[in-house]
């Protein structure tokens, strides 16, 4: 769409413009729009397949050593962020960085951030903490990659701790007995390796495909991505002025080759999607791709700029938000049941980094315990027994220590990250909402895929707005029913009915036990407080709540009441006190 710029700067002034461009280089970089081939019978692998096709086409047409990945709903908000990311890559030791991840910032979010769309706890606490280990995880957008790391090579000066194949360019174990030379598996890609016999070029078509243009571009990209050798401490550097050479002119053969590498058959019998490029086979291909790089010994950096680097949009509708969380959680369950589970990570990954990746695959399973915890207060009110039989000193001391520890941890997170208390509380609320709905469904879907082989289909995040064009947040009040709403709605109704049952029992009992009632009611209200944004989202506005919400609420309430009467029917004394008798049919 735009041809490559000339080698010499172009200065000029635009006529009839109040701005002075006489000292501004007005050249524009080459712009290429790619639409890859898709045919029936070929799996195009969605976003991961598109990214791999872009990597191959760009390698032939421009071959930049660094690649910026942005989603379609994100844009550049701070052009200087490119320079800050490059500073990490070109710094001393920066040749061991596989990518620089920027935080995601969003526009169009409602002022109260009802569904924690900003994800400030994740981006301003978790990701910054990972930056002190081996680096943050790759979140799918706003990321500056080193091209050679995407090709599946080990980082420079890497030390292998175990035999076998881990994704680098050559089989392991060859020439391991050489006395004065490094074994092949410890060698990173070098320009000179293509001139000698140290690398077996016959294996490259099996890994990268049969494009000679693509294979020839690999050492060039590696060399151009090296840091400048301006100090004796810089290892694996490039000499000054090595990049000030004119670029090759694009001709018909190069364009034809770029078209060839994006065809649907090119990846057949290659390692694209398995060890090279974006990894296939998971809904969350971004996390898996970053995990593979860290597993080979690469490091990453989290770059938080003073002015947001990129901005995008996020779903503010409850249903769309739940579907988004469902997709993320489903990918995490897939990771847990795959070879990308951090339990099988190589020894090149640090212990704490391994624990962080292990948490990525485990967190959806916490929904099982969340469901139990949300129903426990209601069970206490229904049965008339407190959650703990005896409130002795030991239990109260233990409860106090746990509570104080959690409060101190929350204060530390808020103080260290600089986020507001309201943002932290919104995150806690939606953690419970998502945990009792989307996470639970993701676990069930993951188990069905592993046990029964049923493939998982997911809904893309909706980009449409509400009907009211005069209201920026009209989409927030739309209520679109989904089965994911059933578990949280059930929890709300069970706890409300339980509170009513508890009050009725205490009021009409001979010896009211208000302490047990207050204890159960407090924990039930604590659960309901977390689910308040969910309930508010169901209500919509101006009487637009769907009828199905009331139907489900009524069915759940009647079912719970009749079920409890069947399990624990009222005594004869209670029937006489209420003025009649009741028998369950």
Rounded to whole angstroms, the Cα distance separating 323 from 549 reads 18
Look at residue 272 and give its three-state secondary structure.
strand
**Do residues 432 and 531 make contact, with C-beta atoms less than 8 angstroms apart?**
yes
Is 199 a residue whose pLDDT tops 60?
A: no
> How many other C-beta atoms are found inside a 10 Å radius of the C-beta of residue 22?
8
pLDDT for 499 equals 86
**pLDDT tier, 512 (very low <50, low <70, confident <90, very high otherwise):** low
**pLDDT tier, 183 (very low <50, low <70, confident <90, very high otherwise):** very low
46 is an annotated ligand-binding site residue: yes
Q: Which of 465, 458, 141, 486 is nearest to 324 (CA)?
A: 458
Give mean pLDDT, residues 280-292. Answer: 89
Residues 6 or more apart whose Cβ sits within 8 Å of residue 474: 465, 466, 467, 468
Find the range with the poorest average confidence among 81-90, 224-233, 400-409: 224-233
Is 585 a residue whose pLDDT tops 50?
A: no
Is 384 a residue whose pLDDT tops 90?
A: no
Q: Which of 231, 293, 371, 317 is nearest to 100 (CA)?
A: 293
For 228-240, write each residue's pLDDT tens digit.
877 777 777 788 7
**Do residues 225 and 148 make contact, with C-beta atoms less than 8 angstroms apart?**
yes
pLDDT for 396 equals 80
Please tell me which residue, 43 or 176, carries the higher pLDDT value. 43
Listed ranges 307-316, 416-425, 573-582; the one with the highest mean pLDDT: 307-316
Is 485 a residue whose pLDDT tops 90?
A: no
Is 145 a residue whose pLDDT tops 90?
A: yes
Q: Where are the alpha helices (DSSP H) in 198-309?
A: 204-208, 212-224, 252-261, 285-295
Q: 277: exposed, middle or buried (C-beta count within 10 Å: 0-12, 13-18, 19+)?
A: buried
pLDDT for 541 equals 62
**pLDDT tier, 159 (very low <50, low <70, confident <90, very high otherwise):** low
pLDDT for 549 equals 59
pLDDT for 11 equals 81
pLDDT for 299 equals 92
Find the range with the poorest average confidence among 253-262, 383-392, 543-552: 543-552
DSSP string, 425-449: HHHHHHHHHHHTTHHHHHHHHHHHH
310-313/105-107 β-pairing: parallel
For 461-473, write each residue's pLDDT tens digit.
555 544 555 566 6
Find the range with the poorest average confidence among 49-63, 444-458, 538-552: 538-552
For 337-383, write each residue's pLDDT tens digit.
888 888 888 888 889 999 999 998 899 999 999 999 888 888 888 87
pLDDT for 459 equals 60
pLDDT for 469 equals 56
pLDDT for 331 equals 87
Rounded to whole angstroms, the Cα distance separating 109 from 472 reads 9
**pLDDT tier, 508 (very low <50, low <70, confident <90, very high otherwise):** confident
Q: At what angle do helices 285-295 and 351-362 cross, to 10 degrees?
A: 160
Look at residue 313 and give its three-state secondary structure.
strand
Q: 20: exposed, middle or buried (C-beta count within 10 Å: 0-12, 13-18, 19+)?
A: exposed
pLDDT for 69 equals 92
**Do residues 332 and 340 make contact, with C-beta atoms less than 8 angstroms apart?**
no
Is 571 a residue whose pLDDT tops 90?
A: no
Mean confidence (pLDDT) of the chain = 79
C-beta pairs of 387-391 under 8 Å, 24+ apart in sequence: 387/519, 387/520, 387/523
159 is an annotated ligand-binding site residue: no
**pLDDT tier, 393 (very low <50, low <70, confident <90, very high otherwise):** confident
Is 583 a residue whose pLDDT tops 60?
A: no
* Tokens of residue 191, six digits: 């320009």
47 is an annotated ligand-binding site residue: yes
Find the range with the poorest average confidence among 13-17, 185-189, 573-577: 185-189
Give mean pLDDT, residues 244-273. Answer: 85
Give mean pLDDT, residues 472-479. Answer: 69
Is 301 a residue whose pLDDT tops 90?
A: yes
For 38-73, write each residue's pLDDT tens digit.
888 888 888 899 999 999 999 998 888 999 999 888
For 83-135, write each residue's pLDDT tens digit.
899 889 888 888 889 999 999 998 888 888 888 888 888 888 889 989 888 99
pLDDT for 279 equals 92
pLDDT for 557 equals 65
């Amino acid at each position: 769409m735009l041809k490559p710029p000339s080698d010499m700067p172009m200065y000029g002034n635009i006529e009839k413009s109040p701005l002075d461009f006489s000292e501004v280089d007005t050249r524009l970089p080459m712009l290429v729009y790619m639409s890859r081939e898709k045919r029936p019978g070929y799996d195009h692998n969605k976003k991961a397949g598109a990214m791999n096709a872009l990597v191959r086409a760009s390698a032939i047409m421009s071959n930049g050593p660094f690649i910026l990945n942005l989603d379609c709903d994100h844009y550049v908000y701070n052009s200087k962020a490119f320079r800050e990311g490059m500073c990490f890559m070109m710094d001393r030791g920066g040749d061991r960085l596989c990518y620089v991840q920027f935080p995601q910032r969003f526009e169009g979010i409602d002022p109260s951030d009802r569904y924690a769309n900003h994800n400030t706890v994740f981006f301003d606490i978790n990701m910054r903490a990972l930056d002190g280990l081996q680096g943050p995880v790759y979140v799918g957008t706003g990321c500056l990659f080193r091209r050679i790391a995407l090709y599946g090579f080990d980082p420079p000066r890497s030390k292998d701790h175990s035999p076998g194949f881990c994704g680098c360019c050559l089989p392991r174990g060859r020439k391991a007995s050489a006395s004065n030379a490094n074994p092949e598996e410890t060698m990173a890609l070098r320009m000179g390796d293509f001139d000698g016999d140290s690398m077996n070029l016959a294996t490259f078509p099996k890994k990268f495909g049969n494009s000679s243009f693509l294979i020839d571009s690999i050492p060039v990209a590696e060399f151009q991505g090296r840091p400048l050798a301006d100090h004796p401490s810089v290892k694996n550097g490039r000499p000054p002025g090595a990049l000030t050479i004119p670029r090759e002119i694009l001709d018909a053969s190069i364009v034809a080759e770029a078209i060839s590498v994006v065809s649907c058959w090119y990846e057949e019998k290659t390692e694209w999607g398995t060890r090279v490029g974006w990894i296939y086979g998971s809904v969350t291909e971004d996390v898996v791709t970053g995990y593979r790089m860290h597993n080979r010994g690469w490091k990453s950096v989290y770059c938080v700029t003073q002015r947001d680097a990129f901005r995008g949009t996020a779903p503010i509708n409850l249903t769309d938000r739940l579907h988004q969380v469902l997709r993320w959680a489903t990918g995490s369950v897939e990771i847990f049941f795959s070879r990308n589970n951090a339990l099988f990570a190589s020894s090149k990954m640090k212990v704490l980094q391994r624990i962080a990746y292990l948490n990525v695959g485990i967190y959806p399973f916490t929904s099982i315990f969340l469901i139990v915890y949300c129903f426990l207060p209601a069970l206490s009110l229904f049965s008339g027994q407190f959650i703990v039989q005896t409130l002795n000193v030991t239990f109260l001391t233990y409860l106090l220590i746990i509570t104080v520890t959690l409060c101190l941890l929350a204060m530390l997170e808020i103080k260290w990250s600089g986020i507001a208390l309201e943002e932290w509380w919104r995150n806690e609320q939606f953690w419970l909402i998502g945990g009792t709905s989307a996470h639970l469904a993701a676990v069930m879907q993951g188990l069905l895929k592993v046990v029964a082989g049923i493939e998982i289909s997911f809904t893309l995040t909706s980009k449409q707005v509400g009907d009211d064009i005069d209201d920026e947040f009209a989409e927030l009040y739309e209520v679109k029913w989904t089965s994911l709403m059933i578990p949280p709605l059930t929890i709300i109704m069970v706890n409300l009915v339980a509170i009513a049952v508890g009050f009725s029992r205490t009021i009409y009992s001979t010896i009211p036990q208000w302490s047990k009632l207050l204890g159960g009611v407090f924990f039930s209200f604590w659960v309901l407080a977390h689910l308040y944004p969910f309930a508010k989202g169901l209500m919509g506005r101006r009487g637009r709540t769907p009828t199905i919400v009331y139907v489900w609420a009524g069915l759940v309430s009647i079912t719970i009441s009749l079920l409890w009467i069947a399990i624990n029917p009222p005594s004869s004394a209670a029937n006489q006190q209420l003025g009649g008798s009741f028998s369950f049919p």
